[in-house]
Amino acid sequence: MPKRIRKPKLDAVQNARRVVMASVGDTEPPKPVSLSVVSQVMAQMGQKGGRIGGKRRLETLSDRRRSQIARQAAQARWSNKKKKSAA
């Protein structure tokens, strides 16, 4: 499944400017708000760790432990279902 590419969201002022420019006939796209350098670095670090984490976990976990984790997840998922009351 391909990863989704997140489009930068426009704030209210940028959106209003886009509407005005579209009504006037100017088609220049608005520039999105840029992230700070720290935010960009942290985002890249998080993406890198996310890509590595799953593969490393798959290599280090035993089959038995993975099975236990899956069993616990299924039990938690199905135990939260509310039972219908007899009315």
DSSP symbols for 17-67: HHHHHHHHT--PPPPPPPPPHHHHHHHHHHHHHHHHHHHHHHHHS-HHHHH
Instruction: Say how far apart CA 71 and CA 16 lie, in whole Å.
Output: 51
Separation between Cα atoms, residue 39 and residue 45, nearest integer Å: 10
0.75 exceeded by the pTM? no
pLDDT digits over 39-53, tens only? 888 888 888 877 777
The predicted model gives 11-28 an average pLDDT of: 80
**Confidence class of residue 86 from pLDDT cuts 50, 70 and 90?**
low
Query: Residue 35 contacts by C-beta under 8 Å, 6 or more apart in sequence?
Result: 43
Find out whether 8 and 32 touch, Cβ atoms under 8 Å.
yes
pLDDT at 71 over 90: yes
